[in-house]
Structure 1
């Protein structure tokens, strides 16, 4: 009986050993992957260049094989949703007006409030890059190559993009916010010198 019990314990150890190895390997890979993502965070230009390369590879493959248009259409809808979230504030001013009052300045004399996106730039880059990678892998499986008339899908997507962006732009104009920081005044803690004062001669 003791021999059987010992043998049973050895079987449990041997059966659990491969699972433990796979779990440790998966943890190591996930940790390394997260480390690389954290290291790439400040390199905005390099990240978007890598995305452009991945997107170009996907486009070339779809054009070359002349198929998987339904995959491209789904990818376009997903990208449109990401873009709207990227251009939208974290707190919708229209909803905020009904509760606590406006959160974004509507006049130049009001307090400066930085624009906080609903979808941060890094998450936007990561999501759109992952979407292109998944779509690229899907082009190797014929089950996703549904025969469709692609000009209709393209026209429908362009109409949807136009209407969605028009609504977003009207929302930006109504609540007077710009989701980009190009040309905006930066506050560094020092006295800001205007262009008129800078042109005056110094004693």
Structure 2
């Protein structure tokens, strides 16, 4: 029995269209890469629209809570270095220490801060999550009745505790994930 050709399978046209849409979507993402501020403004507007939907509909609090936890998780991954210096003590398998780790002593070589979650992937995941949450807010099955002030209190407690831990980690291993005050060079300066 011979295997059917790709052109004769019943789903070849569907696969071709899916691949075409995937390429167009990737092209849009590639074009949006340099516009960091505009991308985040768009995501912020989408988040505000979602919160307005939740506020005026008086429901879908559990969806908003899940979105908040997911965004917090993304933010923490954005703040953390790709090569965590606290794992060096656990991973002493390498002879010279972990490659790519942050310097922890004054005389160590400088290594740039590399994020565990790059900004573009952070934005893309956050935008997808906001979009999915907004879509979920139109289906009654996701409108689980909960006492929303408790969820807000839980989220703030979670945020405070995790950020406290992250800030302590940043202080202990002396790294700053932001480049505030960094000198910017233009063509005229060079």
Q: Secondary structure at the match of 2:39?
A: helix
RMSD: 2.4
CA deviations over 1:106-128 (Å, ceiling 9, x no partner): 45664332110000000000001
Larger Rg: 1 or 2?
1
Whole-Å separation in 2 of the counterparts to 1:51 and 1:155 = 24
The answer to whether 1:63 aligns with 2:37 is no
Higher helix share: 1
2:109 corresponds to: 111
Q: Which runs of 4+ in 1 moved over 4 A?
A: 107-110, 185-188
Map 1:81-96 → 2, pairs under 5 A: 81-96=73-88
TM-score by length of 2: 0.85
**Aligned: 1:26 with 2:18:** yes
Question: 1:177 aligned to 171, 175, 178, which one?
Answer: 175
Bigger shift: residues 172-181 or 47-56: 47-56
Aligned length: 176
How far apart in 2 are the matches of 1:45 and 1:111? Answer: 33
1:51 Cα deviation from its structure 2 partner:
0.7
State whether residues 103 and 111 of structure 2, in contact with CA within 8 Å, keep that contact through their aligned partners in structure 1. Answer: yes
Q: For residue 185 of structure 1, report the CA deviation from its aligned partner.
A: 5.0
The corresponding residue for 1:46 is 38
- Name stretches of at least 5 consecutive residues in structure 2 with no aligned partner: none
Distance in 2 (CA, whole Å) between partners of 1:116 and 1:79 is 20
Determine if the alignment matches structure 1 residue 73 to structure 2 residue 65: yes
Report the CA distance between 1:149 and its aligned residue: 0.2
Contact 2:60/2:142 (8 A) holds in 1: yes
